[in-house]
Amino acid sequence: MSYTNLTTLSGVFSPIDYGSGIQYAQGLLDLQPGAKLNLGLWLGGLDGLKSIVAGDLDSNIRRISEFATSNLGSKIYLRIGYEFDNPQFNYQTSPPSDLYIRAYQHISSSLRDLPNIIKVWHSYAQFPLNLDDYYPGDSHVDYIGVSLFQAPFHEDGKESMRSVKEVINYAEGKGKEILIAESASFGGTDIKWFDTILNLMEEREVGVWCYISTDWDAQRQWKGVGFGDTRVPDSWWRRNVVNSLKFAKYDVVKDDGGDDDFVRWGSMFFIGVVGIMSVAGLLCLSRRRRGSGGYVAIVDIEK
């Protein structure tokens, strides 16, 4: 996993540290040729959307195309304007306009001929929004992504993930693959949180789940925010996830992910091997569509 900004493309062709670990997309693919890369593309807020629609950032879109073309052996899950409904990213207008949709479509159309670009429309799933106001259209979306950081239960123990489930319902209604693109148990690891997510995966056929396993307080950008230490030890992950009876029907694969320097830096990457995803820097469950093999790939990075 890596992040960049369309206005600068920082972190794509050379490393940069925003305060949450080094981001270096090309470095990840150099480290693991053929990897599947989860790439978050920030669009620069409302000013950035206007520049995209005006064509002012077409040269940078072409550079993304060149990046994808030079890495044709790798699938790139491009989260265009990720977390479009996150107020911090400043994509919303009042009343809602089609500016985000037009910017997304402009990027998507410019990259449409690239076979290794997987276009992801990614919701923050924290605030009530009319998703139709931001949906760019079926032809521009391959996966619908969702973030999941909230504690998915009330004090009485009942699950409460209405906003997340609304996004999942929306994805299923569109016939789109579901990707839990970013997630962590806010405030530190909690077995109830994991149990709820695993149940969600079983109930709703989520295709990919990525859990960020890191000490957030050790990172300048996130220190004191409240995420805490969400690292999951290998023994705990195996005991509570790999050996869970609900996954007994699946083949379980472990891949150490090779060189772990990027783990220390905070960057993350997919290693794509026959549909198996492994991730350094996060834990990931993935599976094929029902009836097509049913892989669940388990990767843990705590040595």
CA distances from 226 to 108, 145, 188, 190, 211 (A): 35, 23, 9, 14, 17
Domains in the chain: ranges and CATH:
2-298 (3.20.20.80)
String of b and e for 202-233 (b: at least 16 CB within 10 Å)? eeeebbbbbbbbbebeebeebeeeebbebbbe
pTM as predicted: 0.79
Q: Please list the pLDDT of the chain residue by residue as tens digits (303 residues).
A: 889 999 999 999 999 988 877 889 999 899 888 888 889 999 999 999 999 999 999 999 999 999 999 999 999 999 999 999 999 999 988 888 899 999 999 999 999 999 999 999 999 988 777 899 999 999 999 999 999 886 655 444 344 578 888 999 999 999 998 988 888 777 667 777 777 777 887 788 677 777 777 788 888 877 887 777 877 777 777 776 667 666 554 444 333 333 332 222 233 333 222 222 333 344 555 544 333 333 333 333 332
**For residue 68, which amino acid is it?**
A
